[in-house]
Amino acid sequence: MPLRFLIDTDACVAFLNGTDVKVRDRWLGTPAEDVALCSVVKKELFRGAWGSRDPVIVIARLDQFFTAFRSLPFDDRAAERCGQIIAELERAGRLIGESDCMIAAIALAEDLTVVTRNTRHFRCVRSLKLVRW
């Protein structure tokens, strides 16, 4: 079965922290093979871990969490899409964070739907499929 969803950082945090029952239930109701993470999301999660009170424990928890999911890289196809996204958003005067542009570019390059709790950051990216869990 092909991948369907690329999970954004905020959805991962909500799932890991157990702060959003809807995210947890939807995630647990979705086959693991339908869900992917990406190197950009991992970077953001590791940044949070290294800034925590106990990085060793948080990183161990992340490493365990990551094993269940395929991880997509920010590759050359995504780089081209990212450049296109940034240029279009600049022309429209609607900039979003660089990491969000990179996540959107990976999703577009792989034809995936971004799962996020913050649709505001992504809805201005043309052709991006988006869902809030």
Report the CATH number at residue 102: 3.40.50.1010
Q: What integer pLDDT is reported at residue 2 of this predicted model?
A: 80
Range of the domain at 35: 5-132
Name the band, by pLDDT with cuts 50, 70 and 90, for residue 19: confident
Query: If you search the block for the tokens 């990406």, which residue do you land on?
Result: 38
Q: Reply yes or no on whether the pLDDT at 37 is more than 70.
A: yes
Q: pLDDT, tens digit, for every residue of 64-95? A: 999 999 999 999 999 999 999 999 999 999 99
Q: Reply yes or no on whether the pLDDT at 98 is more than 60.
A: yes
Burial (CB count within 10 angstroms: exposed 0-12, middle 13-18, buried 19+), residue 133: buried
Residue among 16, 32, 33 nearest 24 (CA): 16
**How many structural domains are present in the chain?**
1
Q: Which regions of the chain does DSSP assign to beta strands (E)?
A: 5-7, 35-38, 70-72, 113-116, 129-132
